Structure formats: C-alpha cells, structure tokens
Amino acid sequence: MQQFMNDSRFFKYILVIISLVIGVSLIMHSLLADQVVYASTPDDDTVDGEFQSSGYNNPVSLTKFTLEDRTRVGNIIEVVDETTSPVSVTTDVAVARAIESYEYIIPQQEYTAEFTLHDRDTYQDIESVELRIFYNVSGSGMTNGAVMASVEGTPDSGTGAVIKWQRNVHNNQFFVHNTQASVSWEVINSTVPALNVTSESMTFEVTFMVSKVARQSNDQEWHIGINVIDSLTATGITESNLFAEIGMSDTDPINATPASFNMAFYGEVELPDGITLDWGAIKPGSDFAENQATTGSITFLSNGNFDTEISSSTLWQATNTAIDVGDATLVTDPAVATSTTPQAFGLRFNDSDGTHALTGGSPNAETVNVEGVDLDNGLPATAESGVQRSYAVFLAISKDFQNATYNGEVIFLVSNNVEDLSLVDGGGQ
C-alpha cells in the first residue's frame, strides 16, 4: 500500500475521480435548474400539460334477476308421480321455486325478487332502486318501457306497483312507494347491502305480496322492470337507469328473453263488522213482507270481471229452546208461510238498488237457495277500495215452527266472470 501511494498513478486516479464528480455535478445542475432559461441561439423545447376531469357517472348494469316463490320453503310436500301405476306419492322438502315467464302470479301471494346491480362507481353511488311491476294491457299500443316509465307510484287501480329502496329512507328497507290510497301491495321483508359497502356489485332481495286487485290476465300482460337512480358520487346530477325488458337470468337479464306473466283471478268479500242479519221475534206463518233485515255495506273486491252470489246454509241451528227442537231447514217454496212443513223457512233478497219493497211479484225479489243465486253479473274489476253493496233479506217461516232462536249463515260469494286459465290443468305452469 505504501508502495502504491508512492506511485504517480495514485494521483492520476484521484484527479480523474474529481473531474468526474465535477462533470456530473454540472450536468445535474443544468438539468435541475429548469426555472432558468438561458438565452441561446434559436432552439426548441417541450412544455408538459395536465388537466383533471370529474362528475362522470358510470352506468349501472343489471347482472342478475330472479323471481321466486319461497312460501313453502322447508315445508314437507307431497311428490306425485302420475306416470306410475298406481300413482306414487312420496314426500319431500320444498325448496324455492323459480317463477317462469308466462306463469300465473297469484294475488295476495308472496314472491321474492332477487337482483344484482353493478356500478363501477360502487354501491355508494346508488341513490335508489325500484322494482316496478306493471300491467301493459293488450292493445294499449305502448311499449313496456313507456308503460314502466309511467308507473312512478303505486296506484289503487291494481295496474302496477313500485317497490322501492332509497338510501336513508324507510330504515333503508324496501317499501311500497307513492301509495295513492291504501293498497294491498305489501313488502314482507327485504335484504339490502349495508350502507357503508363500497363494492361495485350489489345484490338486493325483496319479498312482496301482490295486490288483491292486481288485474287478472290470461295474456301475459304483467311485466317487471327495475329502475335505478345512481350518480350520487358524481356532481349530484342523478341518472335514471330503466330496465324495462328484463328476463330471468343469473348472468344477463337485460339480454335474456323478457319475462311476462299472467295474473290469476282474485275475489274477496268483506262483510261489515258486527252486523248480523237479525229479523227479531217473528211468529209462525209469518211471510216475507213482514220480516226484513239488511246486510249493511258489503265490499266486493276483485281483480277481474266478477259475479256475486248469495246463498244460505241449509240448516239453521235452534237454540234457547224449552223443549227438544229440530233445526230449521231452508226451503225455496215461495208459499212457505202458508205451509205446514215443520221447521221450514225461506229467504228472499232485494238489492240496494231495488225498492226494498216485497210486494207481490217484485222483480227484484229473488229466492235464496243453498246453491246460490246471482246478485250481480259481470261487474268490472275494482280498485283497492272495492265496490259496496247492501241487500235487504226477507224471511218467511212455516206455520209449524217451534219457539226458539235460530242461527245460520247467509253467504255472499264473489267469483270470476272471465275464465281463469290458471284453472285449466297445466295452464299456469
């Protein structure tokens, strides 16, 4: 080492290194000192440019949609194999049943819609989601999209429903939106992502009950669409994403064959609370014109053209008897009051539009029987509030009628006027 340091080449090495460091320093200086433009002879140079964009909303896409009947999940059901002889019947545990397009939807039955949305702006960008169930009557001339767009609330006419989830509204659960009046559409339960979820894909699940007056259809006039309002994270300009022509698909419901459904008939009778047809105390041999009771306001609900009937139980039970008394028996003899048939009685009715007077041959007075006689035929579908009717019911009893209190039932029935094809074997499946 001492020899090397004594060598002249050592200094040369030192000099070269110092020169190299100085040179590099000069170069670095020139590179870093960009604030200074040194005048020079004509020359060019590059200036860097930059800008920022914001407010863009990525569209929402629908990646899954299914509709299921889960009402019997877990129930023990019978499995019938009609191809064997004899027909074999076994039991199984019911699972969720996927509702197929063209199937009959049943009013007042629960269905579960499950759908998945994708938004590159994440779930935080979603403001609201609407499940729109709408009725596009045949011959309307409107596209499903147009009809769906018009269904912004849930009318009481039974022509559609909006089942909505909205951020920070209604405890962040689905609800029946914009109800004009009391409707029988109902959200049973729903499952939605937690509000702080930031994933781009999100799944919603809502179980709802179909309205009593959801219009009857045999022509696949019912459809389901989804409307998503998003763009919350953008500039505040919300955008609507309408999916009106969706099908049942686990991967691409938008491009799947659009689903459409039938709607089974539904009818309901609501009798006034606490009102009894009470004819009071009457004497044997008392005729129709002497004994009148009124039903009070009866509400008939229906989702299609419907008929109404009245009937009576055959036997009316005798109570409060001092002796052993047989029950009263309904007969259709118009002259029952003059008959001596023991314990025979008859009922006649008059509608609220009639005169209520039961004078001989009144055209509105008809005899009630066990099988049922028409009250009204071909009434149109009702709104949620139904239609109200009241009737006068007249009573006559035979001469041979034991002292007692007699109790029975006058039955009011609503039935479909238009054939419900769901009743045809396999029609709904």
Q: Which of residues 304-333 bind another protein (CB under 8 A)?
A: 309, 311-313, 316, 320, 322-324
With the C-alpha atoms ordered 295, 296, 300, 306, is the resulting torsion angle positive or negative? positive
Q: Please identify which residue in 14, 80, 181, 195 interacts with another protein, judged by CB under 8 A.
A: 80
Neighbours of 374 (CB within 10 A): 11
Q: What residues pair up with 391 in beta bridges, in sequence order?
A: 351
Task: Report, in Å, the least distance between residue 304 CB and another protein.
Answer: 10
Q: Which of residues 247-266 bind another protein (CB under 8 A)?
A: 264-266
Q: Give how many residues touch another protein by CB under 8 A.
A: 76
Q: Please identify which residue in 79, 181, 188, 370 interacts with another protein, judged by CB under 8 A.
A: 79
Q: Please, how many CA atoms are within 13 Å of residue 272, restricted to the half-sphere of its CB? A: 14
Which amino acid is residue 384, in one-letter code?
E
CB burial readout 213-237, b (16+ within 10 A) else e: bbbbbbebbbbbbbbbbbbbbbeee
Cβ proximity to another protein: between 227 and 303 the closer is: 303
Contact segment (CB under 8 A) with another protein among 156-164, 170-178, 218-226, 409-417 equals 409-417
Task: Report, in Å, the least distance between residue 322 CB and another protein.
Answer: 7
Q: Which of residues 384-403 bind another protein (CB under 8 A)?
A: 393, 395, 397, 399-403
Is residue 278 at the binding interface for another protein, with CB under 8 A as the rule? yes
Nearest to 224 by CA among 113, 93, 94, 331: 113
Q: Which of residues 104-123 bind another protein (CB under 8 A)?
A: 104, 106-109
**8 A C-beta contact, residue 381 and residue 307:** no
Task: Report, in Å, the least distance between residue 108 CB and another protein.
Answer: 7
Q: Which two three-digit tokens encode residue 263?
A: 């709607």
Task: Report, in Å, the least distance between residue 277 CB and another protein.
Answer: 4
Task: Report, in Å, the least distance between residue 290 CB and another protein.
Answer: 11
Q: Rounded to whole angstroms, how far apart are CA atoms 348 and 350? A: 7
Contact segment (CB under 8 A) with another protein among 32-40, 112-120, 267-275, 381-389 equals 267-275
Is residue 184 at the binding interface for another protein, with CB under 8 A as the rule? no
Q: Rounded to whole angstroms, how far apart are CA atoms 378 and 258? A: 33
Q: Rounded to whole angstroms, how far apart are CA atoms 292 and 358? A: 9
Is residue 34 at the binding interface for another protein, with CB under 8 A as the rule? no
Q: Rounded to whole angstroms, how far apart are CA atoms 400 and 343? A: 6
Is residue 189 at the binding interface for another protein, with CB under 8 A as the rule? no
Is residue 219 at the binding interface for another protein, with CB under 8 A as the rule? no
Q: Which of residues 86-105 bind another protein (CB under 8 A)?
A: 90, 92, 94, 97, 104
